Amino acid sequence: MAITIKDIAVYVNMSPSTVSKALNDYPGTSAETKSRVHAAARELGYYPMAAARDLRRGKTNRIGFSFGFSHNTIGEFASRLIVGVVATAEQAGYNLLLYPLTGKPLERLTSICRTGEVDGLLLMGGEHLAESVALLQSARFPFVVLNRSSAEPDVSFVTSDHFAAAVLATRHLIALGHRRIACLGSASLGQVHADRSAGYRQALAEADLEVDERLILSVAGGPGAGAQAMRQLLAVDQPPTAVLAIHDPLAIECLQAAVAAGRRVPEDLAIIGSDNLRSSQAIQPTLTTIDPPLAEIGRLAMEGLLRRLADPASPPTRLTLPVTLLVRESTVGSG
Amino acid sequence: MAITIKDIAVYVNMSPSTVSKALNDYPGTSAETKSRVHAAARELGYYPMAAARDLRRGKTNRIGFSFGFSHNTIGEFASRLIVGVVATAEQAGYNLLLYPLTGKPLERLTSICRTGEVDGLLLMGGEHLAESVALLQSARFPFVVLNRSSAEPDVSFVTSDHFAAAVLATRHLIALGHRRIACLGSASLGQVHADRSAGYRQALAEADLEVDERLILSVAGGPGAGAQAMRQLLAVDQPPTAVLAIHDPLAIECLQAAVAAGRRVPEDLAIIGSDNLRSSQAIQPTLTTIDPPLAEIGRLAMEGLLRRLADPASPPTRLTLPVTLLVRESTVGSG
DNA sequence: TTGAAAGCGATACCAC
DNA sequence: GTGGTATCGCTTTCAA
């Protein structure tokens, strides 16, 4: 059997309640009692039982990280978010519970917030984000959305600026002389693609360039879809001379498909990806990409959540963080 | 307030204990009672409170995943392990708690197993693996070591075959005509490097090649160390014509350093990495690498842990899984 | 087959 | 400043 507070009480000849207070640095406790109790706890090797404490306190010091798990992968993207989250959580004495959302995400979320297994939730991606948000909102469960914004005024989120990212990238291409620029999204990133293409349109408008709707595409999820989209784009009359892809793996697929089709990158076709994944630096030519502050997003989201947990009346955290454009060889060549 | 078992009891006009039995499909309960209770639970939107259940049952249905967090990253490597773990855990009704081990790992581990916040632990890497294992072992806490073996007979582990991996890779290089082959390890992977270099020596011995100890190195952790090691190797009289690196990022650093030094890969220098990270495919030339079945390791480790949890007397899980050598351009060229 | 009652281990209120 | 006691929500003997 594990050592309990009762054992300590017997050991120091005091009541369990006093021991509890001493251990938790309760105000009305004598310094001497505190030190005796702490000493005893150390000697006996006492550790508070999590479940008992959770039950009584009505809080667990755990928060959940839920993410779409449709492709059975946890990507570099999620990892980098988690890094920020976990470091902040650890410091604040919180642990992170992983919730891969498969099957029926909404039912799963319901159970998560009703069983009290975590105090709050961080929401990344997932197919049913809007419904998930509505669900948690109506359950009054503390949560923060990661890397997506929300129009609902009381919903907390921390996101990179998808609109600005596209503006930045598109301007870069225009400055390089490109006039026919494609904008590639992905089915699983609907909201982001909307923001991106809006930024893209804005940058074109600034330069008085016309939008060719055939150059704005959203590809399906699986691998191969990017290559196919690329071939489709190259088949358009007056094909694009530049592509803005919604994430690096997609950009890399495009790059490889373009090369396979005999195009030189960036001379015949410039390509921009997003997220600054490792592979974007490893590929030849290196990939110009948008660098979102993922660890920072994770950190700020966690901090926002902690604030809400400490004070439920505190205002929601609504942050849109600037991104950086990393210019590499896929747009400007190696010279 | 949330709905409790008591509310259901009132609702169906039965005692809480009967309700509990019905909900848990207790043997001695009438079918009708069960269905009435279940119906009521659904109507009222009842979800059992995790902390209360955990306390009473003395088990949490959570398992911890602990990992070294020294570089503030969760790499693609860990992600792939986690994928296997989390999928299996989810199916078995277990959740995964993340424990980044920073600061004092041993104290942290002690607290983890004594507070009963998780039922078991999966251990990945970390600086003090041997001590951690000893600690958990003496606490009789259920755990499985990931991607490392253990000589202790009762310790569970699931690992890829590091020895065989090196044999395979070295034989491949020898078959290509290489006679001067370097073997690069990393400080944070002491045990693995030992297994690797043993396999390397074995393959050399098979081919009656002499071992040049100057070609067996262990580099420090940070970035840049690989490039420096590469320069050091190239400065040896009769420099190596091939390098076997302990992981892909290190191999890529070597590759880039070699190219920077005017060597052609693979003509002047062949390079093999390990772990089949995405970047190994993105780099030019593509990197020959060892592919360990990471998701499979995660899955089997989790299964082994579940077995132990179900029956503490069950034998330890001790698995060494074969790896594959993915031959790419960094050893055989693109032709 | 059901119900009453005793905890699981900690916290917090209320006396003293 | 300290101790008794109720309680958090659920499971599980034991008796009826």
pLDDT in tens, B309-320: 999 999 999 999
Give me the mean pLDDT over the A288-312 stretch: 96
Nearest nucleotide over every DNA/RNA strand to the A3 CA, judged by C1': C9
Decide if B60 contacts B76 (C-beta within 8 A).
no
Other C-beta atoms within 10 Å of A39: how many?
A: 12
Q: Is A55 near chain B, with CB under 8 Å?
A: yes
DSSP conformation letters of B48-88 = --HHHHHHHHT--SEEEEEEE-TTS---HHHHHHHHHHHHH
Q: Chain A residue closest to B55 (CA)? A: A51
Q: Look at residue B319 in the predicted model and tell me its pLDDT.
A: 98
Tell me if A50 and B78 make a contact (CB, 8 A cut-off).
Answer: no
Q: From the C1' of C5, which residue's alpha carbon is nearest?
A: B17
Residues of A in Cβ contact (< 8 Å) with B102:
90
**Confidence label for B47 from pLDDT (cuts 50, 70 and 90):** very high
How confident is residue B297, by pLDDT bands cut at 50, 70 and 90? very high
Q: Report the pLDDT averaged over residues A203-209.
A: 97
- Tens digit of each residue's pLDDT (9 = 90 or more) over B7-38: 999 999 999 999 999 999 888 788 889 999 99
Angle at A195 between CA A191 and CA A198, to 5 degrees: 135
**A58 C-beta less than 7 Å away from strand C:** no
Q: How many CB atoms lie within 10 A of CB B31?
A: 8
Is the overall model pTM greater than 0.85, yes or no?
yes
Considering only CB atoms, A50 lies closest to which of B47, B116, B279, namely B116
Report B:307-326 residues touching A (Cβ under 8 A): none
Amino acid A278: pLDDT: 83
Chain B contact set for A49 (CB, 8 A):
55, 115-116
Q: What is the pLDDT of residue A120?
A: 98
How many angstroms is C1' of C11 away from CA of A331?
62
Residue B72 has pLDDT above 80, yes or no: no
Would you state the pLDDT for residue A275? 95
pLDDT higher for A280 or B126? Answer: A280
| Confidence (pLDDT) at A229 | 94
CA angle A90, A92, A94 (to 5 degrees): 60
Using CB atoms within 10 A of its CB, is residue B99 exposed (0-12), middle (13-18) or buried (19+)?
Answer: buried
What is the predicted pLDDT for the residue at B23? 93
pLDDT digits (tens, 9 = 90+) for A26-85: 887 888 899 999 999 999 999 999 999 999 999 999 999 999 877 667 778 888 999 999
Q: Write the residue in B60, B86, B279 that is nearest to A278 by C-beta.
A: B279
* pLDDT value at residue A188: 85
Q: For chain B, give the percent of residues with pLDDT over 90.
A: 83
> CA A219, CA A227: separation in Å to the nearest integer?
10
**How confident is the prediction for chain B on average, in pLDDT?**
93
Q: What is the pLDDT of residues A235-286, one digit of tens each?
A: 999 999 999 999 999 999 999 999 999 999 999 999 999 999 988 987 889 9
Alpha-carbon dihedral sign for residues B240, B245, B248, B254: negative
pLDDT at A72 (0 to 100): 66
- Cβ neighbors of B238 (< 8 A, separation 6 or more) are B180
For chain B, percent of residues with pLDDT exceeding 70:
99
Nearest nucleotide to B53 by CA–C1' distance?
A: D10
Which chain A residue lies closest to B282 (C-alpha atoms)? A283
Most B CBs within 10 Å, among A83, A119, A280, to test the B interface: A83
Band (B214; pLDDT cuts 50, 70, 90): very high
Chain A CB contacts of B280 under 8 Å are 282
Give the nucleotide with minimal C1' distance to the Cα of A9: D3
Looking at residue B28, the DSSP 8-state letter turns out to be S
Torsion of the alpha carbons at B226, B227, B230 and B235, rounded to the nearest 10: -140
Distance in angstroms (rounded) separating the CA atoms of residues B14 and B18: 7
Task: State whether residue B39 sits within 8 Å of chain A by CB.
Answer: no
Q: What residues of A are in contact with residue B97 (Cβ under 8 Å)?
A: 62, 95-98
- What are the structure tokens assigned to A230, written together? 């690329």
Q: Is the pLDDT of residue A222 over 80?
A: no
Amino acid B138: pLDDT: 94
8-state DSSP, A297: H
- With CA of B18 and C1' of each nucleotide, the nearest comes out as C2
Q: How far is CA B71 from CA A306, B100, B253, B280, in A?
A: 24, 11, 17, 21
Check residues B199 and B282 and name the one with the higher pLDDT: B199
Q: Which of B118, B106, B174 is nearest to A60 (CA)?
A: B118
Residue A99 has pLDDT above 60, yes or no: yes
* Nearest partner of A246 among A162, A146, A133, A330, judged by Cα: A162
Strands (E), A56-205: 62-68, 95-101, 120-124, 143-146, 156-160, 181-186
Nearest to A51 among B60, B79, B97 (CB): B60
From the alpha carbon of B51, which nucleotide's C1' atom is closest? D9
A60 touches B: beta carbon within 8 Å: yes
| Chain B contact present for A279, CB below 8 A | yes
What is the structure's pLDDT at A335?
Answer: 57
pLDDT digits (tens, 9 = 90+) for B223-277: 788 999 999 999 999 999 999 999 999 999 999 999 999 999 999 999 999 999 9
Evaluate if the CB of A10 falls below 7 Å from strand C: no
- What local confidence, expressed as pLDDT, does residue A223 receive? 79
Structure tokens at A14: 């005091």
The CA–C1' separation of A27 and D12, in angstroms, is 38
C-alpha distance from B246 to closest chain A C-alpha (Å) = 18
Q: What is the mean pLDDT of residues B105-117?
A: 95
How far does the CA of B20 sit from the C1' of D16, in Å? 19
Q: Which of A47, A76, A98 lies at the smallest CB-CB distance from B86?
A: A98
Using a CB-CB distance cutoff of 8 angstroms, which residues of chain B are in contact with residue A48? 115
Portion 178-237 of B in contact with A at CB < 8 A: none
Q: How far is the CA of A1 from the C1' of D12 (A)?
A: 19
